[in-house]
Amino acid sequence: GRATQIQFGRPDDEREVVIGLDFGTSCVKVVIGDSALGKAFAVPFCKAEGITRFLLPSRLCQTGRAFSLESGTHPYRDLKLSLLANPTDLVLQQRVVAFLALIIRRARGWLLMEHNATYKQTAIAWKLAVGLPTAQHHQSPLSELFERLSHAAWLAAGEAGDITDTTIETLLAAESKRDETAAGVEVTVVPEIAAQIYGFVASNSFDKQAPNIYLMADVGSGTVDSSLFRVKQGKGGRWDFEFYTSVVEPNGVSNLHRHRVNWWSDALAKARAPQHLIANLEQTKLITDQQFSTPDSYSDYFSGVEAKLPSGVKSPDEEFFNLRVLAQVQGKTLWRTWKDNLLPQSSLANVPFFMCGGGGRMSYYQQLERRLSSMTGYTW
């Protein structure tokens, strides 16, 4: 993975290869695309079954000065959320660079080993596309920061030996006078939602003559990234995305889990339950790189325990969904477009709704589709 080319002598051809890196709160996913071949390869990170083999926890380890994905004396979690909350923190920047560098190194190594015959006579023009939540993508300082860190990560991935904090510190200090041509990669930061919808836009199902206004919710571990946008044909056959609203809020699966844990801890304490039961539950609250399945309902957290709610009292699931998830997607994303006079009511009737992200597989979040199609008090 340290090497970027495996061809020797004069290449038979040159083509562009794009590494698409989805740096999520809980896990990372990598897809490598070769448009000349017309193929895309999902990079496996482990020997698990199904989609799990393509997911790697967003967790970094450090021993001394060296970073690793596997083990170390100092584990670091919440890499992405910590940086988004404190983007000027140099230590947090270094950790993100180290994590991305190790991912890039592994992805490149997998491609060049697994598809050696395909690329041994090919000069590869590399592109690295890193997804950023849509709302942050519109904030140029954050977008520029992620581009700078991604570029440093690409260079760090090519270093001989371990990836260390001193190496990364040197690379970041030199970033102000970087030479992308010499680095051999073109780095772009793209809105994650645009990346999710692109496959549909490029398919035969896409009607170029339709209004092509879409509502999308990307349900991740930490956040829900929701947007209302229009897809239109741009120059050179490219597709452009015109965003009307973009909202990112901490309403993802891990935060639903934390909300439930808080509710259960309070309920168990009032019921004078054994303290170890509460302590064991509390230990799961702050882990964002969970690799276990979050239950679809708060009532599934314990066997042999029944929660009886007084009349008129909402369950923690109803509270979280109505006051946070639905309020974000329906209120702050869809309705706000009309309230702010960005679009007329008629344009919002029968808007197609897409849901993606790991949390979108939970039936809890899938109720969004039903609730959005029956908006109380609105006939349009």
Residue 139, pLDDT score: 56
Contact partners, residue 214, CB within 8 Å, separation at least 6: 197, 228, 229, 230, 231, 351, 352, 353, 354
Confidence check: pLDDT of 329 > 80: yes
Q: Which pLDDT band holds residue 156 (cuts at 50, 70, 90)?
A: very high
Higher confidence at residue 350 or residue 112? 112
Q: 53-94, pLDDT tens digit by residue?
A: 888 889 999 999 999 998 889 999 889 888 988 999 999 999
Higher confidence at residue 97 or residue 17? 97
Residue 73: name the closest of 81, 83, 65 by CA: 65
DSSP state of 64: T
Residue 135, pLDDT score: 59
Structure tokens at 57: 């926890």
Confidence check: pLDDT of 378 > 60: no
Higher confidence at residue 210 or residue 333? 333
Distance CA(83)–CA(222), nearest Å, equals 13
Confidence check: pLDDT of 8 > 80: no
Structure tokens at 81: 């959320």
- φ/ψ region of 173 (left if φ > 0, alpha if ψ in -120 to 50, else beta) reads alpha
Question: Are residues 125 and 17 in contact, defined by beta-carbon separation less than 8 angstroms?
Answer: yes
Domain ranges of the chain: 13-194, 209-380
Longest dimension (CA), the chain: 77
Q: Which fold has domain 209-380?
A: Nucleotidyltransferase; domain 5 (3.30.420)
Residue 288, pLDDT score: 59
Confidence check: pLDDT of 180 > 90: no
Confidence check: pLDDT of 113 > 50: yes
Taking only Cα atoms into account, the Rg of the chain, rounded to an integer number of angstroms, comes to 23
Confidence check: pLDDT of 115 > 80: yes
Distance CA(65)–CA(241), nearest Å, equals 42
* pTM (two decimals): 0.72
Residue 260, pLDDT score: 95
**C-alpha 296: how far from chain center:** 21
What are phi and psi for residue 4, nearest 5 degrees? -105, -15
**C-alpha 168: how far from chain center:** 23
Residue 200, pLDDT score: 64
Higher confidence at residue 142 or residue 152? 152
Which residues on neighbouring strands pair with residue 356, listed in sequence order?
218
Question: Are residues 23 and 38 in contact, defined by beta-carbon separation less than 8 angstroms?
Answer: no
**C-alpha 180: how far from chain center:** 25
Q: 12-56, pLDDT tens digit by residue?
A: 788 888 898 988 888 888 988 887 777 888 899 988 777 788 888
Confidence check: pLDDT of 380 > 50: no
State which of 40-44, 148-152, 192-196, 198-202 shows the largest mean pLDDT.
148-152
Q: 317-327, pLDDT tens digit by residue?
A: 999 999 999 99
Residue 243, pLDDT score: 86
Residue 240, pLDDT score: 75
Give, to the nearest 10 degrees, the angle between helix 165-173 and helix 140-157: 130
Give, to the nearest 10 degrees, the angle between helix 140-157 and helix 90-114: 50
